Amino acid sequence: MENAPHPKKIKTAFFGRNKIIDEVYARGRRAQIAERTDLYPHVIDLENFHEHAPHLRDLEAIFTSWLMPALQSEQLDLLPSLKAVFYAAGTVKKFARPFLERGITVVSAWQANAIPVAEFTSAQVVLAMKGYFRNAREYTSPSYMEAGGFQGPGNYGGTVALLGAGAIGRRVIEYLKPYHLRIVVFDPFLGEARAAELGVTKVSLEEAFEQGFVVSNHLANTPETRKMLHGGLFAKMRPSATFINTGRGATVDEPGLIEVLRARPDLTALLDVAWPEPPVEDSPFFTLPNVHLTTHIAGSANDETVRMADYCLEEFDAWTSGRPLRYVVSLEMLERMS
């Protein structure tokens, strides 16, 4: 009896930049896709799209990551068989709308990208509650230790305020549970019942700044949130409190923050994001002693990026087998994405 024919493999292709695809789909992930699908041998970007488009009419799925080309309607017309895009990164706001409007499934590894941000934030919270950042910058002579040195309230019963309880904020809540901290949350979309499930207390934006010894920003960048965090709020912060921003720089009124940091050297700002990014060359963020500025390192980087590829591979397997997808993006979600 003749062997049954093998089922036809789904045709896939990588879209984006070669360097990024190599970094994100590393450690054999690219090879796994090549084994399980009919993978097109070239990485597609806007520069070579029309050269390769005649060979992609039967393309069904795209694997991609940061710098996914923003294809226009006339380009999508040349991909009539396309059914799904698997994006191994976070927000899809810059490219997804034309796909979604055509009924093409878009999957994002935003939950995978939330993990390292939440880990980074939680580590900073724990150190800030101990008073580490102020203590370290002020400890410049033996007399500082002899005088006792600054110490924070510690990590047992103190209050941490989170601005936003989305994917990252919820993970921060989870990671901080072993420390027995009181967590208050400002999030207009968080209901009282869900807050109770998470073990947090809902507060207003003003109350968050007044109560938290650490205030950590996880608000999305939307028209409503831009410059929402103004100088008046920072002026309400507790003595020696810390502001953490691993969210979006555009949500902060930076001149207002700078004014308060100058007036109150007891405060600390841990800024992994700014607006613009990087800050302008003469920005006080580079010189203020109570600012710790990092180069947007909280998100997935180096070894961590492979986790995003794994999420996409898992979603691809679910999609091909007809199982429910966990990280699919809708048009409604685009409006809330930063």
307 a catalytic residue: no
39: Cα separation from own chain's centroid: 29
CA 98/CA 84 separation, integer angstroms: 12
Catalytic residue among 30, 296, 304, 307: 296
- Per the listing, tokens 């100088």 go with 231
3 state SS of 162: strand
Count, residues in the chain: 338
Exposed e or buried b per residue across 9-31, where buried means at least 16 C-beta atoms within 10 angstroms of its C-beta: ebbbbbbbbeebbebbbeeebbe
277 a catalytic residue: yes
CA 269/CA 260 separation, integer angstroms: 11
207 a catalytic residue: no
3 state SS of 100: helix
Single-letter code of the amino acid located at 63: F
Q: Work out the burial of residue 216: count CB atoms within 10 Å of its CB; fewer than 13 is exposed, 13-18 middle, 19 or more buried.
A: buried
Alpha helices (H) along the chain: 18-24, 29-36, 49-52, 73-76, 97-101, 110-129, 132-138, 142-146, 167-176, 192-198, 205-211, 231-235, 254-263, 305-321, 331-334
Catalytic residue among 206, 277, 326, 336: 277
Catalytic residue among 248, 254, 314, 315: 248
In degrees and rounded to multiples of 5, residue 184 shows phi and psi of -110, 150
Short-list 114, 104, 115, 36, CA closest to 68:
104
* Torsion sign across C-alpha atoms 167, 276, 94, 19: negative
Residue positions annotated with a catalytic role: 248, 277, 296
